[in-house]
Amino acid sequence: MIRLLPLFVGILFLAVWELSVRWLQVPVFVLPPPSLIAKAFADNLPLLMSALWVTVQMTLAAFLASFIGGLALAILFSQSRLIERSLLPYAIVLQVTPIVSIAPLIIIWVGFDHVERAVFILATIVAFFPILSNASLGLRSVDPGLSDLFRLYRASRWQRLFLLQLPSALPALLAGARISGGLALIGSVVAEFVAGSGEATGLAWRIAESGQRLEIPRMFAGLLLLSLTGLALNFAVARVEHMLLRRWHPAHGEGAR
């Protein structure tokens, strides 16, 4: 019963929305009723789906690249304090610089006819930092007793990394991955918006385009699809997290959540 509660709230919300828009005669280009959005969704399904596919591909590619890159850099940092000290400030600079402001520059660099590359690079930059910082934190937060034990048994650098540091880092790394997955999508969308017309054919561009043409129901349909994508991504990473941690991690045991 409790599980169905959000559904009831959703239905109630849609009903109130539909009725009040009709009652108050709100113009469609300001706020279309849900029924019209559903119709726009159905009518534009092939277009929206192909646009979604472009955005999803970009998001997944950026997510994967930031995961591998962030983890690799975190491992490098964990191996050498010197490298960490020299590179970390620049990673932070990249993180705190608003992505929208570097987007035009990246687009110029990769060329206007390769907007998808710019989108990929921008989304990767945005998604990269949570992986780097969480993996770094995880690699450092090793049980000191276990660390002593590895020293006692003269573990090599690699044994320490693979048998102690990486497993210790796994929960933090996966929490970072969940944030990063969402950011990869946000990065893709923002980059598409900034890139504007031309080569960009992703969902974000379709939404922007619909807005410019005042095709508000289609805009809402695109937004809905974007939310669902974000939700699906979050759910997928959470599933992986649960699968990897459920046997040993206190927050993922039988009975936990």
Partner 1 sequence: MLTIAGISKYYPSGLKALDAVELRIPDGSFTSIVGPSGCGKSTLLRMIAGLDVPTAGAILGRPEGEIGLVFQDATLMPWADVEANVYLPLRLAGVTRGDAAPRIAESLALVGLSDFAHAYPRALSGGMKMRVAIARALVTRPRLLLMDEPFAALDEITRNRLNDDLLLLWREQGFSVVFITHSVFESVYLSTDIAVMTPRPGRVMAAHKIGGPPVRDASFRASAAYLDGCRAVSHDLEQALKVRP
**CA-based end-to-end distance of the chain:** 17
Minimal distance in Å, beta carbon 164 to partner 1? 8
Minimum CB distance to partner 1, residue 148 (Å): 5
> Closest CB to partner 1 among 117 and 140?
140
Tell me whether residue 43 or residue 148 sits nearer to partner 1 (CB atom). 148
Nearest approach in angstroms of CB 245 to partner 1 is 8
Which is nearer to partner 1, 115 or 164 (by Cβ)? 164
Shortest separation between residue 76's beta carbon and partner 1, angstroms: 23
Contact (CB, 8 A) for 118 and 107: yes
Cβ proximity to partner 1: between 6 and 250 the closer is 250
Measured from the CB atom, the residue of 23 and 153 that comes closer to partner 1 is 153
Q: Are 91 and 73 contacting, i.e. CB atoms less than 8 angstroms apart? A: yes
Task: Compute CA 199 distance to the chain's CA centroid, rounded to the nearest angstrom.
Answer: 22
- Which residues of the shown chain bind partner 1 in the complex (CB under 8 A)? 143, 145-146, 148-155, 159, 163-164, 167, 170, 247-250, 253
How far apart are CB 217 and partner 1 at their closest, in Å? Answer: 50
CA dihedral 150, 152, 158, 159 (to 10 degrees): -50
Using the minimum distance from each CB to partner 1, give the nearer residue, 102 or 170: 170
Q: Which is nearer to partner 1, 89 or 145 (CB)?
A: 145
- In the complex, least distance from residue 78 CB atom to partner 1, rounded to whole angstroms: 18
Q: Closest distance between partner 1 and the C-beta of residue 256, in Å?
A: 11
